[in-house]
Structure 1
Amino acid sequence: MPESPTAPLTVLCIPGPWLSRSELVEKIVRGASGYLFVGQVLMHMQTRQTCALEFHAADPRMGAAFRAAGPHWADTADMQRIDSHAAVVYLVADGGTAIQAEALMQAAAALLDAGGLGVKVESSGVAHAPDAWRELCSDLHLFSAHRAYVLYITGPQVHSCGMHNLGLRDAIVENNGDTAGAVELLRVFTRYLFTESPTIRAGQTFSAAQDEPAYRLLDDAGPAYDADSLFANPFGFWRLVPA
């Protein structure tokens, strides 16, 4: 595993009602979010945090993509509004640290305030309704970026996806029939990685609670994503094996 992996790209998708790029710029300028849009760059004037902003025409696949990534709110009025979007904005920035990930969350919230209809994390595959995203942004002190960026893929193996946006390894475990238990194990483990920043070495053990089974941590390459996939984690994976 490389000692200094290339910083991954974090990409957020925000569909909206804007009929033109200039209309979006006007709404950002008139808003009270503290952002300035110059050229292709969105910048927070106080913190000087920046990201690229790409403006695109409406995408007929957008509604289906959001429903697949946000099944928990697929039947809501918020999701129905995405079907009538007029444009799509992508926010793009180098990921790999919590500070950068949280700054991009705030930038996406500014676009919601300018009329955005939802946020889809292209670099993990999870979508959030507008109010849910605003709540995540207000709870950053509670490590809510973990919930914003990370989801869990189930199958013969269960693995997390999205930890690279926070600069951390993802995790993987065999599915021995208790899918919900495997997901909860990885949720607790990956949140521990994010909130505690522990120093972990292969061979150490982890338990979700004092009375829960212990797992040995092994280096793992994780799922075989394409080299240019936004889901790929250059930091690698931890495989949890029953101790």
Structure 2
Amino acid sequence: MSASQPRPSIILCVPGMWSSRTELIEAIARSERGYLYAGQILMHAPTRQAFELEFHAHDPRMADAFRAAGPHWRDTPAMNAIGQHASVVYLIGPGGFRGDAHALMLAAAALLDAGGLGVKVESSGVAHSPDDWRALCTDIHLFSAHRAYVLYITGPQVYSCGMHNLGLRDAIIENAGTAAAVELLRVFTRYLVIESPTLLAGQTFSTENGAPVYRLHDDPGPDHGDNSLYTNPWGSWRLVPISMDRTTRWSGLRTAMRRLVS
């Protein structure tokens, strides 16, 4: 990310059973992750990392919002608990770098330990149960931030949303088969996170030798509307299928992709 590019914010929503801000302050102080809450700042005392933390009263829309953003755990006791929340906090910090995204994940885990009921990534639209979020935090070294922040939207086009939280472009493709398109984008965006490659428009790649080949094109990405938290300031890579030319030498990118999925 260049110095001239805007830095997006990461916003994480955590509903909880705290009846007051004072109760939240006390619950955070009792947790064992080393965080303190004062004013509107949540600070990790050992590292001095600080984030904005807003406290709000019960929100009657919260249960529906979590069900829409977390369909994979919709019919679980953890999801049902969201509807019983007493208050909601919003954890806000800078995105655009992997280290900052990781730090916010750990801060949200501290809020879960203090009585939070789940985590919804407002800057992409995916929600996670407490157990799943804690597991993602445990596996940060395995690039779990990709699963924490990124989801895939299906329709006439299939596209990723949330890569800007990590400082990377999203990806988009015409939908010629939803399941295959989602898997292609999942592999491609995970590759971006793991390898941090330098990509150029016009490069080609494939997930493995003999699989369909795609050419990369610059794309502004989907129009999420003015001031949307989903908007990626770096745009997207559009993946356009091309005919397989078996006489063409595989590029370094395609070779790296084969290593990733092998």
Q: Could you say whether these structures have the same fold, taking a TM-score greater than 0.5 normalized by the shorter chain as the test?
A: yes
Q: Pairwise mapping of residues 37-116 of structure 1 onto structure 2 (< 5 A)? A: 37-116=37-116
Where relative contact order (Cα < 8 A, 6+ residues apart) is larger, the structure is: 1
Q: Counterparts of 1:46 and 1:200 in 2: how far apart (Å)?
A: 37
* 1:123 paired to 2:123: yes
**What letter corresponds to residue 26 of structure 1 in structure 2?**
E
Q: 1:134 to 1:180 in 2, by over 3 A?
A: same
Q: Pairwise mapping of residues 2-21 of structure 1 onto structure 2 (< 5 A)? A: 4-21=4-21
CA deviation digits over 1:176-195, x for unaligned, max 9? 1x100000000000000000
What does residue 183 of structure 2 align with?
A: 184
SS at match of 1:198: coil
CA deviation digits over 1:56-111, x for unaligned, max 9? 00100100000000011100000011110000000011110110001000000000
| Greater CA drift, 207-216 or 14-23 | 207-216
SS at match of 2:67: helix
Measure how far apart 1:3 and its partner are.
7.8
Measure how far apart 1:46 and its partner are.
1.4
Q: Pairwise mapping of residues 132-147 of structure 1 onto structure 2 (< 5 A)? A: 132-147=132-147
CA deviation digits over 1:105-149, x for unaligned, max 9? 000000000000000000000000000000000000000000000
Which TM-score applies when normalising by structure 2?
A: 0.90
SS at match of 1:224: coil
Measure how far apart 1:227 and its partner are.
2.6
Measure how far apart 1:207 and its partner are.
1.0
**What letter corresponds to residue 127 of structure 1 in structure 2?**
A
Coordinate RMSD, CA, aligned: 1.0
What does residue 157 of structure 1 align with?
A: 157
Measure how far apart 1:211 and its partner are.
2.6
Measure how far apart 1:50 and its partner are.
1.4
* 1:174 paired to 2:174: yes
Q: Counterparts of 1:172 and 1:122 in 2: how far apart (Å)?
A: 20
After TM superposition, what 4+ stretches of structure 1 lie above 3 angstroms from structure 2? none
Percent of pairs identical after alignment? 68
SS at match of 1:137: helix
Q: Counterparts of 1:21 and 1:7 in 2: how far apart (Å)?
A: 29
Measure how far apart 1:4 and its partner are.
3.0
SS at match of 1:93: strand
What does residue 222 of structure 1 align with?
A: 221
Q: Counterparts of 2:188 and 2:82 in 1: how far apart (Å)?
A: 34
Unaligned residue ranges in structure 1 (runs of 5+): none
* 1:200 paired to 2:199: yes
Which TM-score applies when normalising by structure 1?
A: 0.97
Measure how far apart 1:5 and its partner are.
2.0
Q: Counterparts of 1:126 and 1:4 in 2: how far apart (Å)?
A: 29
Q: Counterparts of 1:227 and 1:164 in 2: how far apart (Å)?
A: 16
What does residue 238 of structure 2 align with?
A: 239
